[in-house]
């Protein structure tokens, strides 16, 4: 193939791809959850960077929220207000991930695992269905704390409860908890620490090589000019929240799981 023919073929291919993307009907994806989904601390920004221009990706997750407090404070009402305006989209998907703040020890947020947590998730799903949108449940992103080379899997009961609600309600579920835990465990604690919002303190970094994580500092010193806004995680090292690298990594993981669970969204994801 000569140079002119090659350039012509490349131009035609680019034009075809552009036309194919433009021909896709617009869809909307709304993200609901806690800080492990939210802007600046979760996988949400990485996920939204992986969708194409025909997708309106709206991250409505907020730090520190549980299935109970997200509704009680009025954040869910804001989502429902968005869902009153579906006409411009061929479909709207609401991705919902909770669990971290539903665990015991979270005053004003904790929910009972056997009763409140599944009931709250079920109500979210039913609310979404009533608007004609599609609910997708997601199990909680793993924490990245290790003991003897294994990740501490303290979110499994909440993941199991989420999967049960999805099965009962007949909606897709992404098992992010299982996939993220397997990926983090394969990385090991040293590499997993690079996914955090800030580098680990020197003693934490050194200890990670043993295969067991030190406790993250409870009152760490924030980096210069660090600002924590209400509803956002402070930009500090811990084993839960994500920096840019972690957001991109797990955002792509969610995108891949979503297209497997909802094949209609495959054309909307960047390669």
* Domain residue extents for the chain: 25-188+241-268
What's the pLDDT tens digit per position in 86-140? Answer: 889 999 999 999 999 999 999 999 999 999 999 999 999 999 999 999 999 999 9
Lowest mean pLDDT among 47-56, 134-143, 144-153, 227-236: 227-236
What's the confidence (pLDDT) of residue 231?
55
The rounded Cα 258 to chain-centroid distance in angstroms is: 11
- Residue 15 banded pLDDT, cuts 50, 70, 90: very low
Average pLDDT on 136-157 reads 97
What's the confidence (pLDDT) of residue 150?
96
CATH 3.40.50.300 fits 25-188+241-268, yes or no: no
Angle at 230 between CA 229 and CA 233, to 5 degrees: 70
Would the pLDDT of 18 be above 50?
no
- Residue 245 banded pLDDT, cuts 50, 70, 90: very high
Read out DSSP for 155-209? THHHHHHHHHHHHHHT--EE-HHHHHHHHHHHH-HHHHGGGSSSPPPHHHHHHHT
Distances (CA, A) of 265 to 16, 24, 60, 162: 19, 10, 20, 22
Which residue, 265, 271, 216, 240, is CA-closest to 35? 240
Q: Where are the beta strands (DSSP E) in 36-113?
A: 55-59, 91-97
Q: Which residue has the higher pLDDT, 175 or 106?
A: 175
What's the confidence (pLDDT) of residue 19?
45
Q: Which residue has the higher pLDDT, 192 or 85?
A: 192
Q: Provide the mean pLDDT of the chain.
A: 90
Helix, strand, or coil (residue 30): strand
Contact criterion met (CB below 8 Å) for 120 and 111? yes
Q: Which residue has the higher pLDDT, 100 or 227?
A: 100
For residue 142, the 8-state DSSP code is P
The rounded Cα 51 to chain-centroid distance in angstroms is: 14
Would the pLDDT of 142 be above 50?
yes
């Amino acid at each position: 193939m000569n140079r002119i023919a090659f350039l012509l073929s490349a131009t035609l291919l680019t034009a075809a791809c552009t036309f194919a993307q433009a021909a896709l009907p617009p869809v909307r994806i709304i993200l609901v959850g806690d800080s492990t989904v939210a802007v600046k601390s979760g996988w949400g920004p990485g996920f939204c960077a992986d969708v194409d221009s025909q997708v309106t990706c709206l991250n409505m997750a907020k730090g520190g929220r549980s299935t109970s407090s997200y509704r009680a404070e009025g954040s869910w009402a804001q989502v429902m207000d968005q869902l009153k305006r579906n006409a411009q989209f061929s479909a709207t998907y609401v991705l919902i991930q909770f669990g971290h703040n539903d665990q015991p020890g979270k005053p004003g947020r904790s929910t009972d695992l056997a009763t409140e947590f599944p009931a709250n998730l079920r109500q979210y799903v039913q609310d979404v269905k009533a608007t004609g949108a599609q609910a997708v449940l997601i199990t909680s992103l793993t924490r990245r704390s290790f003991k003897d080379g294994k990740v501490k899997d303290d979110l499994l009961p909440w993941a199991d409860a989420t999967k049960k609600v999805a099965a009962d309600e007949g909606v897709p579920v992404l098992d992010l908890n299982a996939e993220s835990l397997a990926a983090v465990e394969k990385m090991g604690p040293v590499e997993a620490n690079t996914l955090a919002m800030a580098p680990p303190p020197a003693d934490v970094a050194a200890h990670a090589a043993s295969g067991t994580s030190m406790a993250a500092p409870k009152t760490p010193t924030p980096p210069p000019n660090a600002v924590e806004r209400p509803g956002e995680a402070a930009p500090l090292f811990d084993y839960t929240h994500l920096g840019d690298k972690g957001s991109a990594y797990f955002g792509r993981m969610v995108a891949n799981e979503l297209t497997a669970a909802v094949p209609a969204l495959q054309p909307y994801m960047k390669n």
